[in-house]
Structure 1
Amino acid sequence: MTHSPAYLAQPDEWTDARLLHALEEVVEKELNRHLKVAKDWMPHEYVPWSDGRNFDGPLGGEPWAPEQSKVTDIGKIALVVNLLTEDNLPSYHHEIATLFGRDGAWGTWVHRWTAEEGRHGIVMRDYLLTSRAVDPVQLENFRMAHMSEGFESDNGHSMLHSVAYVAFQELATRISHRNTGHQSGDPVCDRMLARIANDENLHMVFYRNLLGAAFEIAPDLTMQAVRDVVVNFRMPGHGMPGFERAAAQMAIGGIYNLRIHHDDVLEPVLRFLKVLEIPGLGPEGAKAQEELGMYMGGLDAEAAKFDERLAARKARLVARGKA
């Protein structure tokens, strides 16, 4: 990535509207690339419909019971968190449509992204209900509570903050889905989540490349946005019922934790864009770059402590004969 400060606007000249206009050609290029590599797939093909049967209620079927599920305990927790996150798609669409607009290449991308993300919630819910993987009543109650709260980003509604956030968040979601599939204990679930993870990876590439272009035209502002997002990062499902407890269980279960967040989400994006190596920044950009580097070092140390605690916990379980 090369940077030529001579042609860049001054930081106080970059409004969201100007940035959107300046990045329009990049969005169009990335959209065309995405459409060439993205493969359409049918959600119904990933659902074990032959396993389905009526639940209790108006159709007089069989009530749900925990022993009906093929999925591991940690798989159930992660599947509910992942699906509830996908369920809030209307709020996410509102958020990015408001920031990025509904016209031109930006609008085309916003609607395409929303349509692709919609498949994820469809196939996951169909799988969970058909396979009786989780309690359907609890799942619906959680959905109603979570969607009633809506979603509002932590990014101050800055366009650059939002691009930076989704570049990391899409990768985080991909990793969470992939690890949930591996830990689910059900090959059907694993295959379904692998398919979803492929989509999330393509979405990450789109936003990551867009973030790289933002560094080209407004390096100082983009560096500050990345610093803010990385330091304050939270998954979009943080407002759902019982999220903190579920997140702790997913961390212990190896679905998503500090080590995974540092090694598999933050580091790959920062390294690909060479964020910590960008030269020629102004005072504020250089300060943000330095703070970002210090934060990453501190996060790595925290992850090392988490690894130690997790290893000690596993050793205790082995000693008790519970592993």
Structure 2
Amino acid sequence: MIMASAFYKFGYQSCKLSGPGACKQPTATAAASGGNGVHALATITRRNWRCRNMATTASGTTTMAVAGRRREKKDDVVEGEDEWRSYLAPERLEMLRQMEPWVEEHVLPLLKPVEASWQPSDLLPDPANLGSDGFHAACLELRAAAAGVPDDLLVCLVANMITEEALPSYPSGLNRLEVVRDATGADATAWARWIRGWSAEENRHGDVLNRYMHLSGRFHMREVERTVQRLIRDGVIVHAPASPFHGFVYVAFQERATAIAHGNTARLVGARGAGDAALARICGTVAADEKRHEAAYTRVVGKFFEADPDAAVRAMAYMMRRRIDMPTVLINDGRHSSGDFYARFVAIAQQAGTYTVSDYRAILEHFIRQWGVEELAAGLTGEGRRARDYLCALPHKIKRMEEKAHDRAVKAQKKPTPIPINWIFDRTIPVILP
């Protein structure tokens, strides 16, 4: 999905590395092992983590923190609004309309027919097929395997699942994009059919993860479910909310991030990790779906680079300067503000290895290669050249941030802070915080 998995669908967040108001500290975590073998994790402070206050209260009531987040959304839209609104010019929107036959031929085939698609009941015990005794035995087997999964991976699994379960926010976001939107809910355009088909495939991801969690007995499901409800209620922060150029850059990045997060989770809980084969199969299956979806959005943005490289590279730089946030950036457990809780979760995910700042950098490097950003020359304006140069320099800057965060973590030699997580019955995860 579009997770990821901000949190993971997290890149987690790259800092504004240039321009007015640029952060001066890294906005991601970095893991390090000190000489004593203790795993050190350098996370950002709350101030540096977002560079702006976007917190919501634990209770969800309207407060000054909520108002601050709303002001931030407004400020983000206003900042550079003329730039992204230029993408709504008639000639650019006409280009998208003319792409529809290409979408029909090259994007829609990446969806699978319902009859050929996996369903949650294929991956989990099904009483209709097993009978009551067989179902009971299969559930006991599943619970025994789940018992060996470490708590930090359980927390990451919850965040992965919540990202998928927040699906209602995602097609509504795509339906704000000019031209490609499904205006009636049943449009016959290739763009609209893609949005609906993609949403239908994504819908299974939250279902299968939720059912596994319910059957495993390792989670406080009421707390998890309340977190899902809060996230859907609070929504997703969107930059350039009507521009397909910017929107598809975001979704391509997020789909790759989500595939990586689910794939890493599958590896860590599998036979060479925690030994939960059922969960590894589930996460691997979801990751494969995300890779197909990534391929679709990558093709679309690649077509943008072919048709209008100046517009495409500027849109990509616009989004990277504002950070590719995970859709779960507003996640909260009911006790903390969303920003405060998300920062803690980012540290846990980095420490567990399900999604790291190195993954974020690798995704950026992948798309720079995939879309031929370094080779762009013909047709670029001065702004386009500056956007290209910014993007090509960004991975190195992020790597330097990782190294500096590593050095600070080793030098500080901080002790882990126990973080209680209500999703796992208030058991604590020890994490090194700034």
The interval holding the TM-score normalised by the smaller chain is: 0.7 to 0.9
1:183 Cα deviation from its structure 2 partner: 2.2
Amino acid of the residue matched to residue 331 of structure 2? Answer: M
Q: Could you tell me how far apart the structure 1 residues matched to 2:257 and 2:206 are?
A: 17
Q: Could you tell me how far apart the structure 1 residues matched to 2:117 and 2:404 are?
A: 42
* 3-state secondary structure, aligned to 2:176: helix
Would you say 1:181 and 2:266 are equivalent positions? yes
Correspondence for 2:120 among 33, 43, 52: 43
**Contact residue 87 and residue 243 of structure 2 kept, 8 A:** no
* 3-state secondary structure, aligned to 1:151: coil
2:376 corresponds to: 278
**Contact residue 350 and residue 356 of structure 2 kept, 8 A:** yes
Q: Could you tell me how far apart the structure 2 residues matched to 1:48 and 1:299 are?
A: 44
2:254 corresponds to: 169
**Contact residue 178 and residue 193 of structure 1 kept, 8 A:** yes
1:297 Cα deviation from its structure 2 partner: 1.8
* 3-state secondary structure, aligned to 1:98: coil
Would you say 1:197 and 2:275 are equivalent positions? no
1:165 Cα deviation from its structure 2 partner: 0.6
Would you say 1:89 and 2:188 are equivalent positions? no
Compared CA separation, residues 14 and 262, structure 1 to 2 (3 A): farther
**Contact residue 46 and residue 188 of structure 1 kept, 8 A:** yes
Compared CA separation, residues 312 and 180, structure 1 to 2 (3 A): farther
Compared CA separation, residues 69 and 135, structure 1 to 2 (3 A): farther
1:312 Cα deviation from its structure 2 partner: 8.6
Q: Could you tell me how far apart the structure 1 residues matched to 2:383 and 2:90 are?
A: 15
Cα deviation, 1:63-107, whole Å, max 9, x if unaligned, reads xxxx98442112111111111111111111111123122231001
Correspondence for 1:295 among 363, 374, 394: 394
CA RMSD, 1 decimal: 2.9
Correspondence for 1:224 among 286, 302, 314: 314
1:33 corresponds to: 109
Report 1:151-170 matches (<5 A). Answer: 151-170=236-255
1:19 Cα deviation from its structure 2 partner: 3.6
**Contact residue 111 and residue 197 of structure 2 kept, 8 A:** no
1:267 Cα deviation from its structure 2 partner: 1.3
Compared CA separation, residues 97 and 13, structure 1 to 2 (3 A): closer
Going by fraction, where is strand more abundant, 1 or 2? 2
Would you say 1:268 and 2:366 are equivalent positions? yes
1:30 Cα deviation from its structure 2 partner: 2.1
**Contact residue 259 and residue 288 of structure 2 kept, 8 A:** yes
1:150 Cα deviation from its structure 2 partner: 2.1
1:63 corresponds to: none
Q: Could you tell me how far apart the structure 2 residues matched to 1:200 and 1:312 are?
A: 39
Correspondence for 1:77 among 145, 148, 155: 155
Compared CA separation, residues 190 and 238, structure 1 to 2 (3 A): same
1:144 Cα deviation from its structure 2 partner: 1.6
**Contact residue 160 and residue 225 of structure 1 kept, 8 A:** yes
Correspondence for 2:209 among 107, 124, 130: 124
1:211 corresponds to: 301
Compared CA separation, residues 222 and 182, structure 1 to 2 (3 A): same
TM-score w.r.t. the length of structure 2 is 0.62
2:425 corresponds to: none
1:240 corresponds to: 331
Amino acid of the residue matched to residue 134 of structure 1? Answer: F
1:101 corresponds to: 181
Amino acid of the residue matched to residue 365 of structure 2? Answer: E
Cα deviation, 1:270-317, whole Å, max 9, x if unaligned, reads 212211211211111111111112222201222334556778999x99
Structure 1 portions without partners, runs of 5+: 1-9, 54-66
Q: Could you tell me how far apart the structure 1 residues matched to 2:155 and 2:342 are?
A: 10
Q: Could you tell me how far apart the structure 2 residues matched to 1:299 and 1:210 are?
A: 26
Would you say 1:146 and 2:231 are equivalent positions? yes
2:47 corresponds to: none
1:62 corresponds to: none
Report 1:57-68 matches (<5 A). Answer: none
Greater relative contact order (Cα < 8 A, sep 6+) = 2
1:21 corresponds to: 97
1:188 Cα deviation from its structure 2 partner: 1.0
Q: Could you tell me how far apart the structure 2 residues matched to 1:304 and 1:260 are?
A: 15
**Contact residue 87 and residue 143 of structure 1 kept, 8 A:** yes
1:226 Cα deviation from its structure 2 partner: 0.7
TM-score w.r.t. the length of structure 1 is 0.82
Amino acid of the residue matched to residue 110 of structure 2? Answer: H
1:13 Cα deviation from its structure 2 partner: 4.8
**Contact residue 167 and residue 202 of structure 2 kept, 8 A:** yes
Structure 2 portions without partners, runs of 5+: 1-85, 127-134, 333-340, 417-429
Compared CA separation, residues 16 and 119, structure 1 to 2 (3 A): farther
**Contact residue 81 and residue 243 of structure 1 kept, 8 A:** no
Compared CA separation, residues 269 and 148, structure 1 to 2 (3 A): same
Going by fraction, where is helix more abundant, 1 or 2? 1
